[in-house]
Structure 1
Amino acid sequence: MAQTNLDELPRLSSVHVLVVDDSPEIRMLVADVLEAGGATVTVAETAEIALDRLERLRPDVLVSDLEMPGGDGYWLIGKVRELPPERGGATPAACLTGCSEPEDRASILRAGFQYHISKPVDIRTLVGVVAILALPP
């Protein structure tokens, strides 16, 4: 991640974010950045755990890796979008992935994510996307 002054970024106070990544390092790095911005963060290491936590905790925003063993990000967003809105089916979501070709971006957006964030992630982009997704509809 590029060096950024966190004071210059949007504040994420009262925003609850569910971060899903099979890499403990990426998961904790993303969580630390979002928490430094004021967000409350819940983490999950698999898509199945994330789906359970999303239904139980109802976060404001989902940030998920795409390529994970077992259920991947496509599986997760598909399951989320099958849920009724009152159970989390309309949760705004960003995909955080190393897949950055135009066709990858198109597939990610078609699958149900609102944003594609490329790895390595830029802190400004990450916080900015979460802030946008957390805006009331």
Structure 2
Amino acid sequence: MTYNSMNGFGHDSFQENLISIDRSVSWRSLEKLRILVVDDNADDRELLALIIEQEGGEVVLAASANEALDCCQRVNINVLVSDICMPGEDGYTLIKKIRELSLPSQSQIPAIALSSSLSETYREQALTAGFQKYLLKPVDLDELIRAINELVT
């Protein structure tokens, strides 16, 4: 299932699509994981939070790179999921600042970049900056869950 913030889901369709996610795959559980979702688009943040919570994960939300950096310094985060293109400081700057934090538990957070760009340059730049995964928007929710699981196992 994919979600496109440009088109979105109607409320009924959204609920129907949440129910239709394949639950037969055992790797899907995100229980005991605290995931920081960073996106300047409130709808995208909320959708990702709903999906992660539905899979058992705990979500911390941030609307900007500054909020996210603050969260990383105050809260134990297991995985970062961040949009790349945000006003002010972008996702590239955020991950570079996180990688420069003094404690390994903070600086080595596994990270997933989200972008609507198909450009190989964007992907390479994200991986070079410190992200381990690069996923395209609209986000394939099964792919996101799989990527989170791969980073923590």
Matches of 2:21 and 2:125, distance apart in 1: 33
Q: Could you tell which deviates more after superposition, 69-78 or 97-106? A: 97-106
Asked if 1:53 corresponds to 2:56, the answer is no
Q: What are the superposed Cα offsets for residues 19-70 of structure 1, whole Å, 9 maximum, x if unpaired? A: 0000000001011111111100000000000000011002100000000011
Structural mapping, 1:1-137, within 5 Å: 1=2, 3=17, 4-9=20-25, 10-86=28-104, 88-135=106-153
Secondary structure, aligned partner of 1:8: coil
Q: Which runs of 5+ in 1 are unaligned?
A: none
Larger Rg: 2
Secondary structure, aligned partner of 2:92: helix
Matches of 2:76 and 2:55, distance apart in 1: 20
TM-score (norm 2): 0.83
Q: Alignment length, in residue pairs? A: 135
Amino acid at match of 1:7: R
Root mean square deviation, CA, Å: 1.4
Matches of 1:12 and 1:101, distance apart in 2: 30
- Give the equivalent residue in structure 1 for 2:12: none
Matches of 1:34 and 1:44, distance apart in 2: 15
TM-score (norm 1): 0.93
Matches of 1:55 and 1:45, distance apart in 2: 16
Aligned structure 1 segments of 4 or more residues deviating by more than 4 angstroms: none
C-alpha displacement of 1:6: 4.4
Secondary structure, aligned partner of 1:50: helix
C-alpha displacement of 1:86: 3.6
Matches of 1:88 and 1:81, distance apart in 2: 8
C-alpha displacement of 1:87: 5.2
